[in-house]
Amino acid sequence: MEDFDSFARLVTALRPWLGQLVVVGGWAHRLQRFHRLANPPGHLPLRTRDTDLAFSTDAALAGDLRTALRDAGFTEELFGDDGFVALGDNR
């Protein structure tokens, strides 16, 4: 699976928050096919280079996600009027 090493490093960096996050977007489609109850689709999974994560607005996220991700080799890129953050992989 392309980019699996980067995804694994991301999940490892986010280990303290795994119980509070949901993987959404392209990686959700790619991971779904590994579930024991999944029916394999007749097409290739959607491929994107980013990982979309969702946290509840009520989640008490103790710690520093930004530092954890930077320590794992990811960098942030701010763009758009709302200061949207995209993390890039430095490795």
38-52: per-residue pLDDT in tens? Answer: 887 787 766 777 788
- Model pTM? 0.72
Tokens of 77: 């890129």
Residue pLDDT, tens place only, 5-36: 888 999 999 999 998 889 888 788 788 888 88
Q: What is the structure's pLDDT at 88?
A: 64
Confirm if 67 and 23 have CB atoms less than 8 A apart: no
DSSP string for 38-61:
PPPPSSPPP--SS-EEEE-TT---
Residue 46 near residue 29, CB atoms below 8 Å = yes
Closest to 24 (Cα-Cα) out of 9, 6, 57, 46:
46
The whole-number pLDDT of residue 11 equals 92
- Identify the band that residue 59 occupies on the pLDDT scale cut at 50, 70 and 90: confident
Comparing 30 with 62, which gets the higher pLDDT?
Answer: 62
